[in-house]
Structures are given as C-alpha cells and as structure tokens.
Structure 1
Amino acid sequence: MTEDGLITVQSRFGVTETIDRLAEVVKRAELLVFARIDHQAGARDVGTALRPTELLIFGNPKGGTPLMQDQQLAGIDLPVKALAWEDEHGKVWLSYNDAHWIAERHDLRDASRDAVAAIAAGMEKVITAAAGMDQS
C-alpha cells in the first residue's frame, strides 16, 4: 500500500487522450462512467491558468456497494476516480486511490476483503491499459 493512498503511473498519451482511453476501457469492462471533469477548463472559465488536468469518475455498484454496506462512509471515496494531469515538465500522469488505502481509511472488515481486492485488480488493469503500459 502507498503511504499517501495514491498510485500514480506515467501515461504515454496527453491528458485528454489518456482520459478518453480510460473511459473506453472502463466501458468495455462494463463499468459505468459517472462523470468527467475538465479542471483546466474550469480554471479557464474563472480567468486562471492550470496545466491540463482531467478527472474521470467511474465504477460499478456491484463492486462499491459491499464496501458501503460494511462502512457507509466509504461512499465518500466511491465511485472510484482517476486523475490525468500534466506536470511542469510536460509529462502526463494518471493517479488514483489505492483500494487497500480506502479499506484502511474506512476500517473495512475482513468481509469486504474480496471486494477490495477486486477493485484494486480492476483499477490496475484499466489504468495500465489507459496509460498505454499494457505491453503484453
């Protein structure tokens, strides 16, 4: 588990393409896309600058509901989300919350262990594909 609860991988693509790819991978995995937020556009709308930054919120109630049944407050971290962002050097990264960190944060019981493991594995799979790191 990561110390700060975030997992970050470098993307081979720009921010918008990374999120486009993630949305497509998520849909192919039969997950729901709940929202897409363009933070750079929001900053521009209020007259400020921000490097490209986009958030995708997605998931499946079958995966998240058991966590909320265990500890309802886990819903603050669900559905899952991923942030594509460009750093000051022009590199693009894709970051998301570690499912095991979410479990620890909300003191989820052992009964939720399988759901947490499934979310962690699913996140790794879709993030890797979206970032272009699935070189199998």
Structure 2
Amino acid sequence: MKPTLLIFPLMLFSLVAFADADAVKTVAATDIVTKTSPYSVAETMNKFESIVKTKGLEVFARIDHQQNAKAAGMEMNAAQVLIFGNPKTGTPLMQQDAAVALDLPMRVAVYADKAGDVHIAYHAPDSLAVNFELKDSAVLPQLADALNKLTAAAITTTP
C-alpha cells in the first residue's frame, strides 16, 4: 500500500479522536407549520398583523420581500414576514439558552407559492426544544397554541 493512502485514514481518525464535541452543535431539521389562506398575501398579513397588535404583542418589523426584490431589479412572488413577540414570553426561553435569540422574536411568513396559492407559515415552537437547550419548557406549548390560534384567525373567513 502506498504511504499516501495511509495518510487519509490517519487524518480522518485524528479529526474524530480530537474533535471537541461541545465546540460544534448540529442543529436538527426545523418543523414548519403551513396553512393555506383564502386571501391575498397582503390581506392575510394585514389581518395577521392586526390580530397580533390587538393581542398586545409588539411588532418589530414587517418585511416585504417582493418589494425588496423589485428594488434590486428582480422578480418574485409576493412574500412578507412579520417579526413580533412579547418579552414576557421570550425572555424565559433565552434565560434557559441565550442562543434561542437566533430564533426570537417570532416570525410568521405569508407567501404565494408557484401556483399562486397563499400560505401562512411559521417554525413550530416545539422545534426550539430540539435546536436549543429548552428541556421541559412550559412556555413552548403555550407559544405553539398561541401561534396556532393567531394564524388560524388570520385565515378564517367570515360569512
């Protein structure tokens, strides 16, 4: 066997043997909850934002990706993101693992797919427990329930 062929297994062994397991964290796949809306992207997001504000949550930003694409000389289907939250909900999660700040405040996207169907979507809060050190968090089920209700209200049709 050639000496150069022996080097590769030794290099691979050294990477495995001397790697610091705590230095790199692999994040699990995130679950995304998606619901179909009977309204346009703008109508759905307007309803959702109004509901969020009515519930006393703070809206930090509303991003219109289609407008931003147009400004860059590009085209895309309508897509908007609302960034919102409540420090009383998010702070306890960040006290458990400050890295959860990467996913907070919460974000909800409303977008039109290639077929023109409109969807409202968000990361399932339960996925935060997988991606961060949030074992036995009482906040996550409450957050999941709240997001489910808020997004359902935004797409509910009234006769």
**TM-score normalised according to structure 2 size:** 0.79
Within-5 A mapping of 1:1-136: 4-110=30-136, 113-132=137-156
Write the distance in 1 (CA, Å) between the matches of 2:158 and 2:128: 25
RMSD value, Cα: 1.6
Flag structure 2 segments of 5+ consecutive residues without an equivalent.
1-28
Write the distance in 1 (CA, Å) between the matches of 2:85 and 2:34: 19
Count of paired positions: 131
For 2:117, give the aligned amino acid.
Answer: K
Write the distance in 2 (CA, Å) between the matches of 1:23 and 1:83: 11
Partner SS state of residue 37, structure 1: strand
Query: Do the aligned partners of 2:37 and 2:119 also contact (CA within 8 Å) in 1?
Result: yes
Query: Do the aligned partners of 1:13 and 1:132 also contact (CA within 8 Å) in 2?
Result: no
For 1:7, give the aligned amino acid.
Answer: V
For 1:128, give the aligned amino acid.
Answer: A
Report which structure shows greater RCO (CA 8 Å, sep ≥6).
Answer: 1
Query: Do the aligned partners of 2:96 and 2:133 also contact (CA within 8 Å) in 1?
Result: no
Q: Deviations over 1:16-75 (max 9, x none)?
A: 111100101101111111100000000000100010000001110000110000000001
Flag structure 1 segments of 5+ consecutive residues without an equivalent.
none
Partner SS state of residue 69, structure 1: helix
Query: Do the aligned partners of 2:97 and 2:132 also contact (CA within 8 Å) in 1?
Result: yes
Give the % identical residues. Answer: 34
Q: Would you identify which runs of 4 or more consecutive aligned residues in structure 1 move more than 3 Å?
A: none
Q: Deviations over 1:97-134 (max 9, x none)?
A: 10000121112122xx2111111111001000112269
Partner SS state of residue 81, structure 1: strand
Partner SS state of residue 65, structure 1: helix
Partner SS state of residue 124, structure 1: helix
**TM-score normalised according to structure 1 size:** 0.91
